[in-house]
Amino acid sequence: MTANRTEPTTPLLQIRGINLSFGGIRALTDVGFDVQAGSITAVIGPNGAGKTSLFNTLSGFYRPDSGSVQFKGQDITRTPAPRRARMGLGRSFQNIALFRGLTVLDNIKLGRHAHLKTHVLDALLYLGRARREEAALRRDIEENIIDFLEIDHIRHAPVSALPYGLQKRVEMARALAMQPSVLMLDEPVAGMNREETEDMARFILDVRSEWGVTVLMVEHDMGMVMDLSDHVVVLNFGQVIAQGTPQSVQNDPEVSRAYLGSGDVRELRARLQAAATVRRAA
């Protein structure tokens, strides 16, 4: 009798050999890793390691010099950013990118724009399908996203009047309104106090467990990364220097050197000279 074998699961997102440069500066070099469906994957690294450049490449704002991005088994390397959003890649930004003059509710509704089917004329006249679609959109956002993120008390407030931590939560709400399969969070707890960080960590865990959304995040808070992540990818000077479980990455000497150095001035000088050589060669 032949034993049953479990077929390997195809990753939801596959990054292969991504190279990205700006003039003579190499931002990413041969970057590759997988994001499994239902996982929380963290990308970490020192400042300037290329993390946001990677996110901009995955979401379609940057086009790589070479390499490929596969999403749900489809090559999206040359797919424009708006279409990637419709396909299920939603993201937040390192620097808050909300419309400060609009209310919380209006900002969140903009996240669903890519999925609306209303024609321009319908929208201008606000009749028929446009009105029904608007009502359904508002009901879904209010009953699900706003309640989920516990921001009902500020839904009619202008974003400009909110403290930083709540603005970050609103940005996450707008990304969720895109109905993503993969939620890309760029430093979701940057600048937050302990209570705000704990709330955001809870929301990230809940969006994975309750909504079935896969999470890919860039984050500097190592405590949060180690507590939440299933898989960690470490970038340094635009290259992947380690990846694996939080425990294995935490114990990797290359990761320690990337963050802390060895304390040896000669080694530090050698690292800087090597980085300069790479940039000149590029």
Question: 12-88+180-282: CATH homologous superfamily?
Answer: P-loop containing nucleotide triphosphate hydrolases (3.40.50.300)
Weakest mean pLDDT among 40-49, 103-112, 182-191, 256-265:
256-265
Task: Tell whether the model's pLDDT for residue 260 goes beyond 70.
Answer: no
Task: Tell whether the model's pLDDT for residue 244 goes beyond 50.
Answer: yes
Residue 228's CB: how many other CB atoms inside 10 A?
19
Weakest mean pLDDT among 61-65, 99-103, 120-124, 148-152:
120-124
Joined together, the tokens standing for residue 105 give 């509710």
Joined together, the tokens standing for residue 144 give 């699900």
In order of 109, 131, 141, 269, the CA distances from 127 in angstroms are 18, 5, 21, 67
The correct CATH number of 97-179 out of 3.40.50.720, 3.40.50.300, 2.30.30.140, 3.50.50.60 is 3.40.50.300
Domain ranges across the chain: 12-88+180-282, 97-179
pTM: 0.81
Pairing of strands 74-75, 239-244: unpaired
Confidence at 77, pLDDT banded by 50, 70, 90: very high
Tell me, yes or no, if the two domains 12-88+180-282 and 97-179 fold the same way. yes
Joined together, the tokens standing for residue 194 give 């302990």
Instruction: Report which of residues 269 and 233 the model is more confident about.
Output: 233
Task: Tell whether the model's pLDDT for residue 93 goes beyond 90.
Answer: no
